[in-house]
Amino acid sequence: MQAHAGEVPEYLARLEEASTELVPLADDVAEFCSALRGDLHTHSDWSDGGSPIREMAEAAIALGHEYVALTDHSPRLTVANGLSAERLERQLDVVAALNEELAPFRILTGIECDIHLDGSLDQTDELLGRLDVVVASVHSDLRAESAAMTERMLGAVANPHTDVLGHCTGRLLIPREQREGRRQRPRPESAFDAEAVFSACVEHGTAVEINSRPERLDPPLRLLALAVELGCQFAIDTDAHAPGQLDWQGNGCERAVETGVDVDRVVNTWTADELLEWTAS
């Protein structure tokens, strides 16, 4: 209510007073962040996000983004209110109408698609072919044997619809709250042959996500360094579930700078036209 009235919320004022020496981004990280034109992994209240699509888009505009990909969850992830094919089709109409209003800013149509145990993607080929951006992520059976997880990920990476491999290890560094009061405990990395998976990403033109969520920071630095060495492309994303989380890309940029990621290999530094030409190829 205080924020809506244009006031600084009392709790925020207390925090700012207690943290008078806020540390800005280092110059090299800030420069890296300034090259980003958008975010390729965000959620709205159509799945497990907390805000309408318009609010997420307006927050991205306020940050200076040129585009944002709306990647709500696919149907298998019922705990996250994943979108059925019918709901996703309705969302495409909503996005089209918003894009007419918000131009030249663009909401890219997309999905965070669950990777099935056999490596297939959790949505129809027809619908996946209509989307601008497909992020493929593992959300289940995260403690599977390395060989099984590797084959599963290789199948998704090789899928011609997959543009970005999301939060590849699935780790959670700290507990987090979920819908309806559920609480997730910290979770170790999934086991898989990272060299094989990242090499497949290079072969098939699939970007490796640098997930900027504070509880994920995925992939870990040693794996991110391996992906750099093997020649991967990257997408620095927030996996935002609320407007304020769209400002988390600095976390990913810091890790990119630390591991020597070339800014030209980050696909969301490209213009929307360049990005869409890449995802369509």
pLDDT in tens, 89-109: 999 999 999 999 999 999 999
**Average pLDDT score over the chain:** 94
Kindly tell me the burial class for residue 180, based on how many C-beta atoms sit within 10 Å of its own C-beta (0-12, 13-18, 19 or more): exposed
Q: Is the pLDDT of residue 18 over 80?
A: no
The two structure tokens encoding residue 16 = 């700012």
pLDDT higher for 16 or 172? 172
pLDDT in tens, 217-268: 999 999 999 999 999 999 999 999 999 999 999 999 999 999 999 999 999 9
Question: So what's the pLDDT on residue 178?
Answer: 66
What is the percentage of the chain residues whose pLDDT exceeds 70?
96
pLDDT in tens, 110-135: 999 999 999 999 999 999 999 999 99
Strands 183-184 and 176-177 come out as antiparallel
Question: So what's the pLDDT on residue 25?
Answer: 81
pLDDT in tens, 26-50: 899 999 999 999 999 999 999 999 9
In the chain the domains, ranked by start, together with CATH numbers, are 36-280 (3.20.20.140)
Average pLDDT of the segment spanning 258-280: 98
CA gap 232, 241 in Å, rounded: 26
Question: So what's the pLDDT on residue 21?
Answer: 57
Q: Is the pLDDT of residue 144 over 70?
A: yes
- Record the pTM: 0.90
Average pLDDT of the segment spanning 145-174: 97
Q: How far is CA 12 from CA 2, 15, 25, 47, in A?
A: 11, 5, 20, 28
Q: Residues 72, 83: contact at Cβ < 8 Å?
A: yes
Confidence of residue 78 (pLDDT cuts 50, 70, 90): confident
